[in-house]
């Protein structure tokens, strides 16, 4: 591939260990309950599928797609629902599964939107958090890794729909995006 020079930030093994730990924390949080995972497409798909197979509680999954970015790395700030959940979430214990929190605008919007549908509870797990780039205050309930302000790809995360299949998280070096 033309754009193949990316530095590894988190290896497959590091991610694997952390996902196992997160699954333990989340299973403890929801002990005796059923949790509805809301996987935010497309970036969180790899994380959600690894996480759900390690949870020790009853699980349902649904998917939501939102758009806040074109093929640029900067957030436009505008969030649109491209695909909504299939079923009602009223009275359910929701855990939103996200790949990365950057400005916080996407999750701020999703949380407000889903809370208006009266779930029993709503929490967020993100694999990655870039707190340095926040535009709105947002703190995930569970977080895999806090990372510096790099644009990263792999393990489901893309640049312009590329690199999602990489097993680790890589820093996309400037000049290698096009």
Q: What's the CA gap between 126 and 74, in Å, rounded? A: 19
* Residue 160 designated active-site: no
- Interaction with ligand IMP in 37-76: which residues (CB under 6 A)? 43, 68-69, 75
- Interaction with ligand IMP in 84-103: which residues (CB under 6 A)? 98-103
Structure-block tokens of residue 124: 């967020």
Instruction: State in angstroms the smallest separation of the CB of 94 from ligand IMP.
Output: 17
Chain centroid offset of residue 50 CA: 12
- Three-class secondary structure of residue 142 per DSSP: strand
- Binders of ligand IMP: how many residues, by CB under 6 A? 17
Percentages (nearest 5) of helix, strand, coil residues in the chain: 20, 35, 45
- In the complex with ligand IMP, the residue whose CB is nearer, 38 or 157, is 157
Chain centroid offset of residue 96 CA: 8
What lies within 8 Å, CB to CB, of 1 at 6+ separation is 162
Query: Would you count residue 152 as binding ligand IMP (CB under 6 A)?
Result: yes
Q: Which stretch binds ligand IMP (CB under 6 A): 12-20, 25-33, 48-56, 151-159?
A: 151-159
- In the complex with ligand IMP, the residue whose CB is nearer, 28 or 132, is 132
If you count them, how many residues does the chain have? 178
Instruction: State in angstroms the smallest separation of the CB of 31 from ligand IMP.
Output: 29
Chain positions contacting ligand IMP, by CB under 6 A: 43, 68-69, 75, 98-106, 151-153, 157
| Active site positions, annotated | 102
């Amino acid at each position: 591939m033309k754009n193949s020079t990316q530095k590894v930030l988190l290896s497959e093994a590091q991610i694997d260990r952390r996902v196992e730990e997160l699954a333990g924390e989340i299973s403890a949080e929801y002990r005796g309950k059923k949790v509805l995972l809301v996987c935010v497409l497309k970036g969180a798909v790899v994380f959600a599928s690894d996480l759900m197979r390690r949870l020790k509680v009853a699980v349902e999954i649904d998917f939501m797609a939102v758009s806040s970015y074109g093929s640029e790395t900067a957030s436009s700030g505008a969030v649109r629902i491209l695909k909504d959940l299939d079923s009602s979430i009223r009275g359910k214990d929701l855990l939103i599964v996200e790949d990365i929190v950057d400005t916080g605008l996407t999750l701020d919007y999703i949380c407000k939107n889903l809370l208006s549908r009266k779930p029993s509870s709503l929490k967020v797990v993100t694999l990655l958090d870039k707190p340095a780039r926040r535009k709105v205050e947002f703190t995930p309930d569970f977080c895999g890794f806090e990372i510096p302000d790099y644009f990263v790809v792999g393990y489901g995360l893309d640049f312009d729909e590329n690199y999602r299949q990489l097993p680790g998280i890589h820093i996309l070096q400037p000049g290698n995006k096009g």
